[in-house]
Structure 1
């Protein structure tokens, strides 16, 4: 089979890096520059992605379209692609709940084949190797596995049921991201009473405790604009399963206090805690 042309929707830090890995086994990787920021353009150029002027051109030329965007935009993007009668493989790889993923599949089928995707791990740069979990039609998931063969993205199929990959992604995010929020609250509480260093010392005796990594609080704050919506999606998934969603909604509310430090790579632990206490 000839190499496919791939379209990436919204090449953010994760999307652009994943798309660059796809380029290993693709004829070309396209992105639509209309309405995107100069930062997005610079990022796409840095990863060697090819710009096109319109979404219609991207959809028309692509055999595979990968959607990696903020959760709120997922359905609007899918609706836009469906409006152009896309007839290839659509990878819905956003951090959204299984019900939304199934709605997106209904929008695009039967014209397109929809694969549910969930990325677990950091963007594939600097030696990092995330896993792209997949669920959906076997032929379509096999094409995506072949697309990422031999790259820093490990593709793993979970079965044919759309929604499984989304559920796994959100289940992991619910634990991992909420745990980081709890670290920030614990360190903030301890700092208020002058025992933050003692808290960290206690935690450092346990090698498996996130409390032993307080420096990650600043990274959590810079990523809060993305993590909060993911936890809201995870809370919706809990509610749909009859499980209590309140803990995750509270974590999302806490993350919202950091909305003004989006992607701030210079943020320190002290800065992050100050913003948390006085948003």
Structure 2
């Protein structure tokens, strides 16, 4: 099936960046912005995403619907889209693009959850692809990978001709989500542990000494933390659910879930601070890591 129009659910930080790449390379992108926030409208306009108003019109005009949503909203939106597809009676490809990003807030799904979403979509007669985005929004070529699995994944891979790096890893729904979940457990788990231990060192009066040692003996780690912790604070509220999702999956695999429930607790504390209340656009990118740790230390308490 030739692809001409891609429907974006929803044009947040990652969704609008993907749409911008597709638009730049000749595809039309659309969104249903009825009852959406001013920020979402602004992000869509900046990426030249066309507002078609309703979800029904989006399904009618799209060849592919690409969903990039937080976990809590994914199943509900899939049900809404499935109902529209059934009413419209259109054959369409639905791609669930749960995303893991170092720079922007996205979502993590357990493989079993994405299989449930696939059943919802396929019950409407549509086809489904499991896709996981690893890396920042694709504004710089070569930094963002989209892994895809499912029998129709090759059809989705056509978007590689329009500026995206899409890699098919299998025909089973859940493979792409499982890969991203494991990667998110590593990167976001490390960020949570590092944030807590740096706060602890600050409260012990040893933050300068600890950072000096890490910078000397673990320079690669120091570089990662200096980048990951500042970019984490405005999206900590989204990462609470991700860590809980990972914890439950690890438990089902016969592993301990407690590590990632602890990570969720760290992000729960951060989200209620002044830094956690900022949007990604509001974040001061010149703010030093030491200042961030001081603020988090001053504004967080655990019951």
**What TM-score results when the alignment is normalised by the length of structure 2?**
0.85
Taking structure 1 as reference, are residues 144 and 21 closer, same or farther at Cα in structure 2, changes over 3 Å only? farther
Q: Aligned residue for 1:273?
A: 297
> Which string of whole-angstrom CA distances, capped at 9 and with x for unpartnered residues, describes residues 237-261 of structure 1?
2122121111111101210112232
CA deviation digits over 1:70-94, x for unaligned, max 9? 1100000100110012521111112
Structure 2 SS opposite 1:93:
strand
**SS of residue matched to 2:170:** coil
Matched-pair contact (CA < 8 Å) for 1:65–1:90: yes
In structure 1, the residue matched to 2:102 is: none
Name the counterpart of 2:110. Answer: 97
- How many aligned positions are there? 276
Shift in Å, 1:201: 0.9
Equivalent in the alignment of 2:91: 87
| Deviation of the 1:115 alpha carbon | 0.3
Distance 1:238 1:217 in 2: 24
Q: Is the 8 A contact 1:224 1:259 kept in 2?
A: yes
Output the CA distance in 1 between the equivalents of 2:301 and 2:232: 15
Question: 1:183-203: per-residue Cα shift (whole Å, max 9, x none)?
Answer: 111111111121101101111
1:109 aligns with 2:122: yes
2:76 aligned with 1:64: no
Match of 2:194 in 1: 183
What's the offset of the Cα at 1:210? 4.5
User: Greater CA deviation, 21-30 or 34-43?
Assistant: 21-30
Q: CA 1:125–1:159 in structure 2 vs 1: closer, same or farther (change >3 Å)?
A: same
Separation (CA, whole Å) in 1 of partners of 2:156 and 2:26:
11
Deviation at 1:26, TM superposition (A): 5.6
CA contact (8 A) 2:7 2:65 kept: yes
| Corresponding residue for residue 205 of structure 2 | 194
**Counterpart residue number, 2:245:** 233
Equivalent-residue separation in structure 1 for 2:224 and 2:109 (angstroms): 30
C-alpha change, 1:98 and 1:228, in structure 2 (3 Å) is same
Aligned mates of 1:2, 1:163 — CA distance in 2: 26
- 23-32 or 164-173, which deviates more: 23-32
**Distance across 2 between alignment mates of 1:33 and 1:135:** 29
Once the two structures are superposed, residues 147-192 of structure 1 have per-residue CA deviations (whole angstroms, 9 ceiling, x without a partner) of 13352x3111110000000001110001100101111111111111
Runs of 4+ aligned residues of structure 1 deviating over 6 Å after TM superposition are none
**What is the deviation of 1:24?**
4.5
Q: Is the CA contact (8 Å cut-off) linking 1:180 and 1:210 kept in structure 2?
A: no
8 Å contact from structure 2 (residues 191, 225) kept in 1: no
Q: Which moved more, 1:170-179 or 1:238-247?
A: 238-247
- TM-align CA RMSD: 2.1
CA shift, 1:219, in A, is: 2.0
- 1:134 alignment partner in structure 2: 148
Unaligned runs of 5+ in 2: 99-107
Work out whether residues 33 and 51 of structure 1, in 8 Å CA contact, stay in contact via their aligned partners in 2.
Answer: yes
